[in-house]
Amino acid sequence: MEGSSKVIHAMYTDDDVLMAAVKKVRAERYHIEEIYTPFPVHGLDKAMGLAPTRLAITSFLYGLAGLVVSIVMINYMMIEDWPQNIGGKPSFSYLENMPAFIPIMFELTVFFAAHLMVITFYLRSRMWPFKKAENPDTRTTDDHFLMEISAGDNVDEQFDILRNTGAVEVTLIDKAH
C-alpha cells in the first residue's frame, strides 16, 4: 500500500537466483524499492526496469569542457603570454604548433571527463563525505544480495512468493521506528 513505511527484506545468496527473482517479483507487480549487492550484477538495471543512466552524456560534456580548457590554457601560456622557441617550432601560431599540444589536450580531456564523472556519480548516488551508510544489512557487502520490497496489504502472500523465488531469509521491517 502506498505510504506504508513497512518494507520486506529478502536475502539471496546467488546473483542468478536474484535475477530470476527480480523478474518474478516484477511480474507479480510488486514495487522493488532497492537492491543491495556485493558487486555489480550485469543486466540487473534492465531487469529492474530502471531508466538508462545519463552519466555517459555528462561524461562527454565534461570531456568537451576539458578540451576547451586545455586549448584556451595552452594558447594563453604558449602563444600569447610567453611564446617560447622550442626545437625551432613556430612559436606564434597555435595551429602550426598543434601537434605538440595534442598530448596535453588529450590528457586534460580525459582528466576532466574522468574526475567530474566520478564526482557526478557519487553525488547522484547520494554519497558524499561523512555520509552514513544506507546499507540495511552488512552481509550484502560480503556474499548476500538483498531485495527491498514495499509491503502490501497481504504480507503473507508476499512472503510466500519471495520464499518460492529462492530467498534464504525474508523479514518484515518497519522503517518508521
Partner 1 sequence: MYTISNRLKTFSIILIVLGVLGVAYGFMTSHKSLEEVKTMLVEEHAHDGGHETSVQEHTESAGSEHADVSQDDKHAKHVQEQIAKRPWSAMYVSALFFMTIALGVLAFYAIQIASQAGWSPVLFRVMEAISAYLLPGAIIVILLAVGSHYIGHHNEIFVWMNPDVVADDKLIQNKSGYLNITAFLIRAIIFIGGWCTYWYFARKFSIAQDNAEPGDIRNFKKSFRIAAGFLVFYLYTESIMSWDWIMSVDPHWFSTLFGWYVFSGMIVAGITVIAMVAIYLKGKGLLPLVNDSHIHDLAKYMFGFSIFWAYLWFSQFMLIWYANIPEEVVYFVSRIEDYKLPFFGMLVLNFVFPFLILMHSDYKRVPWFVMMCGVVILIGHYVDLFVMIMPATVGDRWYIGIPEIGSILLLGGLFLLVVFTSMTKAPLTPKGNPFIKESENFHY
**Which residues bind to partner 1, rule: CB under 8 A?**
42-43, 56, 60, 87-89, 99-100, 102-103
Sheet-wide strand order for 32-36: 32-36, 145-150, 6-12, 169-174
| CB closer to partner 1 out of 109 and 158 | 109
CB of 52 to partner 1, least distance (A): 9
| CB closer to partner 1 out of 7 and 22 | 22
| CB closer to partner 1 out of 102 and 172 | 102
Task: Give the strand pairing for 169-174 and 32-36.
Answer: unpaired
CB of 47 to partner 1, least distance (A): 11
Let me know: does 117 contact 55? Beta carbons within 8 Å.
yes
| CB closer to partner 1 out of 31 and 89 | 89
CB neighbour list of residue 89: distance below 8 Å, 6 or more residues apart: 96, 97, 100
CB of 107 to partner 1, least distance (A): 13
| CB closer to partner 1 out of 87 and 129 | 87
CB of 87 to partner 1, least distance (A): 6
Main-chain phi, psi angles of 150, to 5 degrees = -70, 135
CB of 99 to partner 1, least distance (A): 5
Q: How far is CA 147 from CA 27, 136, 165, in A?
A: 15, 10, 12
> Inter-axis angle of helices 155-164 and 15-27, to 10 degrees?
140
